[in-house]
Structure 1
Amino acid sequence: MKKNWLIALLTLLAYLPSQAQNPIIKDVFTADPAPLVYRDTLFLYTGHDTASVSETNYKMPDWRIYSTTDMVHWKDYGTRLSPRTFAWATGDAYAAQCVYHNGKFYWFVSTFHKKDGNSQGGAAIGVAVSDRPTGPFRDAIGKALIVNEMTKDKPHAWDDIDPTVFVDDDKQVYMYWGNLSCRWVKLKDNLTELAGPINFITPRNYIEGPWVYKRKNLYYLVYASAGTKPEMIEYCTAPSATGPWTYRGIIQENVPNSFTTHPGIIDYKGKSYFFYHNGSLPTGGSYRRSICVDYLKYNADGTIQKIVQTTEGVAPVK
């Protein structure tokens, strides 16, 4: 009997979150969270900060994958993709998102393009593909999907970053991205070709890091804002994936010890979750960030309540 009670106690303790679950990954610095639910598992695709404490710019060599089935215990798959996967790419591994479509996993990434016959350099968006959510991933088309020469509304070379991809109910696929300018385009069903012209929109205070999704009959465009420094998270809603977008306000204030933040929103096992990053780990900072997760809650009219940032994080789910 005593042994059975001990087993039951240990089982219970295994499902109790620690007092400081956030950040959820503590052994390496991670940024730009992109959650994906596949079957009964939540997969988390992340960037990876490796800058030293004294460096004053990003050093992001690769992208990593984690997974959970209870929102508390995370399995680490390590590095699963890097700019070296793409023969045309060079430089850092900026924000990315993986989506499931037609039986395959497409990982849309932002990095930089070599100067060659296809581009004069600058930020670019590529697509990797795999039959499994954890890879191995390969370059899906052997070239960049978006290069700097395709978007001329902004003069800086790092404007084509932070892709988010949304598959609507009618299976039409949309991609949104951009720094200082939010762009969107329809993608063909193979997710490797554009299906129309690139469009430009100007959400209030928009700077980067868009995340687009649909809940009930409302479309959400959530993004990092430049209304103040450091960044906050603001959002718009619309009746369709193409707008018109109505500004709704701020949902996340500044995060600790980082001038950037980045949204990743997902529903999983009956609850809504808001992923983001901050610089709260020891020796952390704006170039040594860490991913956190807290609850996301809605009002009756579909508007989003302010995110409550916690060190406790979220409770385990079965």
Structure 2
Amino acid sequence: MKNTFLVVLLALVSWLPLQAQNPIIRDVFTADPAPLVYHDTLFLYTGHDTASVQETNYKMPDWRIYATTDLVHWKDYGTRLSPRTFAWATGDAYAAQCVYHKGKFYWFVSTFHKKDDNSQGGAAIGVAVSDRPTGPFRDAIGKALIVNEMTKDLPHAWDDIDPTVFIDDNKQAYLYWGNGSCKWVKLKDNMIELASPITTFTPKNYIEGPWVYKRRKLYYLVYASAGTKPEMIEYCTAPSATGPWTYRGIIQENVPNSFTTHPGIIDYKGKSYFFYHNGALPTGGSYRRSICVDYLHYNPDGTIQKIVQTTDGVAPAK
């Protein structure tokens, strides 16, 4: 009887990890997922929460990289970039996204700027560059791409965070970002200079964390919303990368044990995936978050179905 019980127990233990994939990274706390597909591999660029259980603010010292070829087994490349990479930077490693363009990988990051001749401080956006998706990365400019003095629509010093970059079919790159309002600007082909004035707009309930992409002929702007606390994920669509944006609604409700959430959307091996973070791990919370992934589905008219948050996660991609 004891042997039978032991066999059943071991079978259950071996079965549990496959049934409780989310969160997908369990040895450290990660946030702000940004997926990128390059060749046959999906790379995941993340923030890194290191605040203690007692702390009531973010402590995010660096950015990390993970990779997978099946969405279930992940290779940990560890810390690959930090604010210390940028001589002008100080403070935490907030949301970031890496994109591939003409043979190079550009990692757009948000952190804070030192007070100096170029800035009086506040949130800023920088760009790191590498020849490989896992680095090594270096400061591509030697200065911030966006500083607080360039955006005056809001009085607070943390409005220039959460960059996302979209490269259109004609290879024109756009940078979107912002807390409290959403900003966008065209980038030059070198990805490190602005090619247009900055435009500011505020989608319904927008607060932060934009993610922009195109599917078929429709452009999507997905973001964390301020309609309620904790945050939810809402979205707009448009006929072009510059709008006009039409509000479409909520696609992700509040996440467990975290007042923030952050979208990252990607197609990989024939399916669409929605990355986000929550506070579901033991001792997790709003400052100790963990990245998850679930399926994303579209209606025939291109609108997005509600995200079903699961602990199972997704099946191996084939």
Q: What TM-score, normalized to structure 1?
A: 0.95
Partner of 1:46: 46
Change (3 A) 1:241 1:15: farther
Alignment of 1:120-139 (within 5 A): 120-139=120-139
Gaps of at least 5 residues in structure 2 are 1-13
Alignment of 1:162-201 (within 5 A): 162-201=162-201
C-alpha distance in structure 2 between counterparts of 1:282 and 1:17, whole Å: 15
Alignment of 1:253-268 (within 5 A): 253-268=253-268
Figure out how many residues of one structure are paired with residues of the other and give that number: 306
RMSD: 1.3
C-alpha distance in structure 1 between counterparts of 2:306 and 2:201, whole Å: 24
Partner of 1:96: 96
CA shift digits 1:195-219 (9 cap, x unpaired): 0100011100000000000000000
Amino acid aligned to 1:291: I
Do the aligned residues in 2 keep the contact of 1:15 with 1:316 (CA within 8 Å)? no
1:306 aligns with 2:306: yes
SS of aligned partner of 2:19: coil
Partner of 1:4: none
Amino acid aligned to 1:18: L
Do the aligned residues in 2 keep the contact of 1:15 with 1:72 (CA within 8 Å)? no
Runs of 4+ in 1 over 3 A off after TM superposition: 14-17
Shift, 1:317, TM fit: 1.5
Amino acid aligned to 1:312: D
Alignment of 1:1-318 (within 5 A): 18-318=18-318
Amino acid aligned to 1:262: H
C-alpha distance in structure 1 between counterparts of 2:143 and 2:135, whole Å: 19
Identity of aligned residues (%): 90
SS of aligned partner of 2:84: helix
Change (3 A) 1:129 1:247: same
SS of aligned partner of 2:158: coil
SS of aligned partner of 1:44: strand
Partner of 2:4: none
C-alpha distance in structure 2 between counterparts of 1:250 and 1:108, whole Å: 27
CA shift digits 1:201-259 (9 cap, x unpaired): 11000000000000000000000000000000000000000000000000000000000
Shift, 1:19, TM fit: 1.2
C-alpha distance in structure 2 between counterparts of 1:15 and 1:246, whole Å: 44
CA shift digits 1:11-31 (9 cap, x unpaired): xxx999611100000000000
SS of aligned partner of 1:149: helix
Do the aligned residues in 2 keep the contact of 1:17 with 1:316 (CA within 8 Å)? no
Do the aligned residues in 2 keep the contact of 1:123 with 1:158 (CA within 8 Å)? yes
Amino acid aligned to 1:156: H
SS of aligned partner of 2:37: strand
CA shift digits 1:150-180 (9 cap, x unpaired): 0000000000000000000000000000000
C-alpha distance in structure 2 between counterparts of 1:309 and 1:153, whole Å: 35
C-alpha distance in structure 2 between counterparts of 1:172 and 1:100, whole Å: 13
Shift, 1:64, TM fit: 0.0
C-alpha distance in structure 2 between counterparts of 1:317 and 1:80, whole Å: 26
C-alpha distance in structure 1 between counterparts of 2:40 and 2:196, whole Å: 35
Do the aligned residues in 2 keep the contact of 1:218 with 1:302 (CA within 8 Å)? yes
Gaps of at least 5 residues in structure 1 are 1-13
C-alpha distance in structure 2 between counterparts of 1:205 and 1:93, whole Å: 25
Do the aligned residues in 2 keep the contact of 1:231 with 1:259 (CA within 8 Å)? yes
CA shift digits 1:31-70 (9 cap, x unpaired): 0000000000000000000000000000000000000001
